[in-house]
Amino acid sequence: MPCSGTSACRATCSFATSTTSASAGSGPLVARPGRVLASPRFRFEGRGRSSDRARPRGGAAAALGSRGERVIRLEESIEVARPPDAVYDFLAAVERYPTWLPGVTGAEQTSPGPVEPGATFRLTLAGPTGPLAADGIVVAAEPGRRLAVRGEAPQGRVEGGLDIEPVASGTLLRVGVQIELTGMYRFAEGLVAGQLRSSMPDALARARDRLEAEIPA
């Protein structure tokens, strides 16, 4: 059941969707390859490919985390008719987020330098009573291949990442997220999972369409 009527839930889902996609910069950024600051606990499990470019495939599930929190996990995939390096660079540019991610009204890098492990960023989300800030850190950056982040917001903790793989049509993009809800948001687990399930495929489709429109084949 989507939580479209609950602005707090929408903000949570916007934060989760945003954090899966990349991290961050106030202008064009170049990611440095190779370093891993810390391995995120969530790694992609499914390796199957989707042939449906119009609608990414995936699902959401809830489980118990190591500390007993309720954990929501989601994975989606989509094919993009552009090379892996172009897909990575587009998704690593946080200044583009407000153009394709619902609920994200602002984004900036809060540390100097390129997108690399240890780089920090802040997203501004539309909240129930006003803007909400969500802070994150890059934990892995392999240009053209993989990007992973961790984030904190009033609603909970998020770990997310993307895997990029060359395919005949261009790029297969897999995006995954794990959310540990905290405080009163633990009781909205079903709403958050439902909203993620419905909003993430649409967000990825918008990112694909914008990427293919902006970047020449």
**Angle at Cα 45 formed by Cα 89 and Cα 75, nearest 5°?**
55
Contacts of 64 (CB under 8 A, 6+ apart): 70, 71
Task: State pLDDT tens for residues 17-26.
Answer: 555 443 333 3
Question: With bands split at pLDDT 50, 70 and 90, how would you rate the model's confidence at 173?
Answer: very high
- Residue 154 is classified by DSSP as T
Task: State pLDDT tens for residues 64-112.
Answer: 344 445 688 889 999 999 999 999 999 888 888 887 777 889 989 899 9
Structural domain range at position 172: 7-214
pLDDT of 58 over the 60 cut? no
- Residue 155 is classified by DSSP as T
pLDDT of 28 over the 70 cut? no
Q: Is residue 130 part of a domain?
A: yes
More confident residue, 137 or 3: 137
- pLDDT for the residue 69: 53
Q: Is residue 57 part of a domain?
A: yes
- pLDDT for the residue 15: 56
Nearest CA to 22 out of 139, 103, 130, 184 is that of 139
More confident residue, 16 or 165: 165
pLDDT of 6 over the 60 cut? no
Q: Is residue 193 part of a domain?
A: yes
Backbone angles phi, psi at 2, to 5 degrees: -65, 155
Contacts of 216 (CB under 8 A, 6+ apart): none
pLDDT of 205 over the 60 cut? yes
Total tally of structural domains belonging to the chain: 1
Question: What CATH number is associated with residue 158?
Answer: 3.30.530.20
Provide the total of helices (H) and of strands (E) in the chain, helices listed first.
4, 8
- Tell me how far apart the alpha carbons of residues 200 and 111 are, in angstroms, rounded to a whole number: 27
Q: Is residue 86 part of a domain?
A: yes
Total Cβ atoms within 10 A of residue 57? 15
Q: Is residue 18 part of a domain?
A: yes
Q: Is residue 2 part of a domain?
A: no
